[in-house]
């Protein structure tokens, strides 16, 4: 009998750092992620995101979070994809670390975005999870550059970028909560990446490469 290809090989992909485990989102993990959202992602007077999704009323916030991740999973395609990793610390989902790409086989560029539950801030976990996806993109996917952006007042995100070797790549003005705010862009190439002392452990990648590389 002819072997049927795995319809979703991403479910086997795992990235491991000394403290964290990152796996592509699944429904059970997303329910844990929603619980973390309701515990708080940032102080209410701040807004680190381009789309202010955490401003939504609590009665629809969880459902909207699920629908966002479901939509990105449903529209995943080789020429335009977003890989959202659920980040686990001591076995518990504490946030999300995503990388996305358009025409990756040609452009070899990824863009990252992430958030971490407020109760886990200040422990270096944000740096560790970003370093994980950078090592994954550069060493296992063959990316040539990674891009990230942050509002000028998002000190934590900017600090993570600086620690990992990103350099300034321009800025633009955008609206945030009805006010104009400057957004900074950062870029890092493999030779500029300030690598952590640990080596990323990756498993389950082989079956995923056709989805990510084409």
Q: What is the pLDDT of residues 23-77, one digit of tens each?
A: 999 999 999 999 999 999 999 999 999 899 999 999 999 999 999 999 999 999 9
The string of pLDDT tens digits covering residues 185-199 is 999 999 999 999 999
Distance of CA 31 to the CA centre of its chain: 17
For 77-93, how does the pLDDT look when each residue is reduced to its tens digit (9 = 90+)? 999 999 999 999 999 99
Q: What percent of the chain has pLDDT above 70?
A: 99
CB 137 within 8 A of CB 143: yes
| E-strand stretches of 90-160 | 92-102, 109-116, 145-151
Choose among 176, 118, 125: nearest CA to 149. 176
Report d(CA 25, CA 23) in Å as an integer. 6
Residue 178 has pLDDT above 70, yes or no: yes
Q: Which CATH superfamily is domain 9-144+198-213 in?
A: Gcn5-related N-acetyltransferase (GNAT) (3.40.630.30)
- Compute, in degrees rounded to 10, the torsion defined by CA atoms 35, 66, 60, 116: 40
């Amino acid at each position: 009998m002819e072997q049927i290809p795995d319809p979703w090989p991403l479910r086997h992909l795992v990235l491991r750092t000394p403290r964290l485990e990152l796996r592509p989102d699944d429904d059970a993990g997303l329910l844990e992620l929603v619980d973390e959202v309701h515990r708080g992602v940032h102080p209410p007077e701040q807004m680190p995101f381009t789309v202010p999704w955490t401003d939504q009323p609590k009665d629809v916030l969880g459902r909207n979070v699920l629908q966002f991740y479901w939509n990105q999973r449903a529209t995943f395609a080789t020429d335009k994809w977003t890989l959202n990793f659920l980040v686990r610390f001591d076995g518990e989902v504490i946030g999300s670390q995503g990388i996305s790409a358009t025409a990756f086989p040609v452009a070899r560029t990824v863009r990252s975005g992430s958030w971490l539950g407020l109760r886990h801030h200040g422990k270096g976990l944000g740096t560790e999870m970003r370093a994980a996806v950078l090592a994954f993109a550069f060493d296992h996917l063959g990316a040539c550059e990674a891009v990230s952006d942050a509002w000028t007042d998002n000190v934590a995100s900017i600090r993570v970028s600086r620690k990992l070797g990103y350099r300034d790549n321009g800025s633009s003005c955008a609206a945030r909560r009805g006010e104009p705010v400057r957004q900074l862009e950062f870029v890092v190439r493999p030779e500029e990446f300030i690598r952590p002392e640990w080596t990323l452990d990756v498993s389950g990648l082989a079956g995923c490469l056709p989805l990510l590389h084409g």
